[in-house]
Amino acid sequence: MRNLTIAVSALLASSLAGAASQIPLCPGLTVVTALAETKGDYESIKTVESVGPQEVRINYSAEVADTALFAEDGSVMQVRENRRVRTQDLRAARHYLAVFAQESDQLFPGTTAIGTSTSVLRNLKAQGQDSIVFNFDTTAEGELRVSRQNPGNVYELAVTAKLERVGTVKVPLLVNDRRVDLDAIKARAQFEGASEPSEFIFLDDEENPLTLRFSIHSPPPGEAVPGMAETCAMMKAAGMPVDEELCSATGPWAPTARSGTLTVTKINYRCGQENPASSLENSLEKDRKADIYSIYFSFNSDVIRKESEPTLKELANLMGKHPDWKLSIHGHTDSIASDRYNLDLSQRRAAAVVNALTSRYGVDGSRFSFAGHGESSPKDTNETLEGRARNRRVELIRLQ
């Protein structure tokens, strides 16, 4: 069955384009994006669950700041959503539906989800232009609806603009735990009424033209959300804290209409020529250490997210293959928050990895030690999303 899945994935890739793929579209492909907030970087994880001849299935998992009026300061809202994308849309669709929302429809014919289509990328490269259809917001209920009979469906809320190539760029990313520079196409779109042009950076890979970056500027908002101003005024009069952005909410379905960004910081995959397990094994055998970026934690927490299980399983299998190995597991953070807080968080995260390997995979706990270093050993700058993503890591050191 596994060989059949890989064969179907390869067939789909070859049908989309003839060029060699930089990032293969296959089950297990994980794309991590980060959003900077004052209390830290929130990460969303998009995982390709299956690739078939008719459609691709994607799981979306995010932890974002809870902006509800009565939400506690620093509280986090968890979002999970599944999306299905037709293979024919990966080839030719111009509608890029980048928004994910809970309790939404899963299949939106004529749209892509985590990048543009082969056709759009080809036209940008060959002709320097194409068009793009984009959704800036969801409905008032925060949902995505496909039915055109439903007011505020994704097609009704979409905006179209001319897309023009700006040039080629190199995008630094962590790919399978290594920093690489990916070839990409930079394009610009001026949505009608927007004060500034929007920019998109697509992976220069016709088999899988992922969106690596975007900076979007939406058209002017519509009428104010009914009752919002009155509610905020009442809360302010009572001395209650309010979200000023939400208080200025606009649009008949969208709570806000504003600029937004997307930054991919990490990509992992488990297919193609590179074998992550053998790569990790080689690093531990040769260098006696390895940095791991595919163990994901909840925001400001030592709770391991479920997308980490493939890496934990690989590590447990290696420990079974090498019964003489003993590992020291080290946690590292970025520099957001205090030194003391980060040191404690890194220690708890390292301990959580040891606990997962022993409790869930049965590895003997005496073969592990752990430590936390907080922000004291950065790999990169803490001034950028990309740099902070490289600093947040689990380091493995083989003791014997």
> What is the CATH classification number for the domain harbouring 359?
3.30.1330.60
Class of residue 286 by CB neighbours under 10 A (exposed 0-12, middle 13-18, buried 19+) = exposed
Whether 186 is covered by a domain: the verdict is yes
State whether 79 and 104 are in the same domain. Answer: yes
The backbone region for 300, taken as left when phi is positive above 0, alpha when psi lies in -120 to 50, beta otherwise, is left
Provide the number of structural domains found in the chain: 2
Whether 24 is covered by a domain: the verdict is yes
State whether 150 and 131 are in the same domain. Answer: yes
Whether 27 is covered by a domain: the verdict is yes
Is the model's pLDDT at 141 over the cut of 80? Answer: no
To which residue do tokens 């990916």 refer? 182
State mean pLDDT over 301-329.
96
Is the model's pLDDT at 336 over the cut of 70? Answer: yes
State whether 282 and 148 are in the same domain. Answer: no
Structural domain boundaries enclosing 33: 2-220+257-267
Is the model's pLDDT at 329 over the cut of 60? Answer: yes
Whether 252 is covered by a domain: the verdict is no
- Give the DSSP letter of residue 306: G
How high is the pLDDT of residue 38?
Answer: 74
Is the model's pLDDT at 241 over the cut of 70? Answer: no
Instruction: Say how far residue 286 (Cα) sits from the centre of its chain.
Output: 31
> pLDDT tens, 149-163?
887 789 988 999 999
Instruction: Say how far residue 143 (Cα) sits from the centre of its chain.
Output: 19
State whether 195 and 332 are in the same domain. Answer: no
State the chain's mean pLDDT as an integer.
85
Give the residue, 74 or 106, on which the prediction is more confident. Answer: 106
> pLDDT tens, 269-294?
988 645 555 789 999 999 999 999 99
pTM across the whole model: 0.84
Q: Which of 267, 296, 324 is a domain's end point?
A: 267
State whether 178 and 303 are in the same domain. Answer: no
Report the greatest alpha carbon distance in the chain.
68
Q: Radius of gyration over alpha carbons of the chain, in Å? A: 22
Is the model's pLDDT at 65 over the cut of 90? Answer: no
Is the model's pLDDT at 237 over the cut of 80? Answer: no
State mean pLDDT over 104-131.
96
> pLDDT tens, 7-38?
444 444 444 443 445 899 999 999 999 988 77
How high is the pLDDT of residue 101?
Answer: 85
Structural contact between residues 291 and 393, judged by C-beta atoms closer than 8 angstroms = yes
Label residue 360 by pLDDT band (50, 70, 90). Answer: very high
CA distances from 83 to 57, 79, 104, 305 (A): 6, 13, 9, 19
Whether 250 is covered by a domain: the verdict is no
State whether 46 and 162 are in the same domain. Answer: yes
Whether 241 is covered by a domain: the verdict is no
State whether 350 and 263 are in the same domain. Answer: no
Lowest-confidence segment of 54-63, 205-214, 256-265, 317-326 by average pLDDT: 256-265
| SS3 annotation, 212-275 | EEEEECCCCCCCECCCHHHHHHHHHHCCCCCCHHHHCCECCCCCCCCCEEEEEEEEECCCCCCC
How high is the pLDDT of residue 293?
Answer: 96
State whether 94 and 205 are in the same domain. Answer: yes
Is the model's pLDDT at 334 over the cut of 60? Answer: yes
Lowest-confidence segment of 118-122, 139-143, 167-171, 190-194 by average pLDDT: 139-143
Whether 242 is covered by a domain: the verdict is no
**Half-sphere exposure of residue 43, counting CA atoms within 13 Å on the CB side?**
28
Give the residue, 220 or 46, on which the prediction is more confident. Answer: 46
Q: Which of 212, 237, 267 is a domain's end point?
A: 267
Is the model's pLDDT at 243 over the cut of 70? Answer: no
Label residue 49 by pLDDT band (50, 70, 90). Answer: very high
Percentage of the chain modeled with pLDDT above 90:
64
Label residue 195 by pLDDT band (50, 70, 90). Answer: confident
State whether 188 and 114 are in the same domain. Answer: yes
Give SS3 for 388.
helix
How high is the pLDDT of residue 7?
Answer: 45
Is the model's pLDDT at 347 over the cut of 90? Answer: yes
State whether 306 and 261 are in the same domain. Answer: no
How high is the pLDDT of residue 251?
Answer: 45
> pLDDT tens, 207-225?
999 999 999 987 765 544 4
State whether 47 and 111 are in the same domain. Answer: yes
State mean pLDDT over 312-329.
96
Query: Nearest Cα to 94, choosing from 49, 161, 27?
Result: 161
How high is the pLDDT of residue 120?
Answer: 98
How high is the pLDDT of residue 240?
Answer: 65
Q: Which of 233, 267, 301 is a domain's end point?
A: 267
State whether 324 and 213 are in the same domain. Answer: no
Give the residue, 193 or 241, on which the prediction is more confident. Answer: 193
State mean pLDDT over 165-189.
95
Helices 309-321 and 339-359, interaxial angle, to 10°?
60
State mean pLDDT over 143-149.
87
Query: Nearest Cα to 391, choosing from 349, 362, 360?
Result: 349
Whether 238 is covered by a domain: the verdict is no
Lowest-confidence segment of 64-68, 136-140, 268-272 by average pLDDT: 64-68
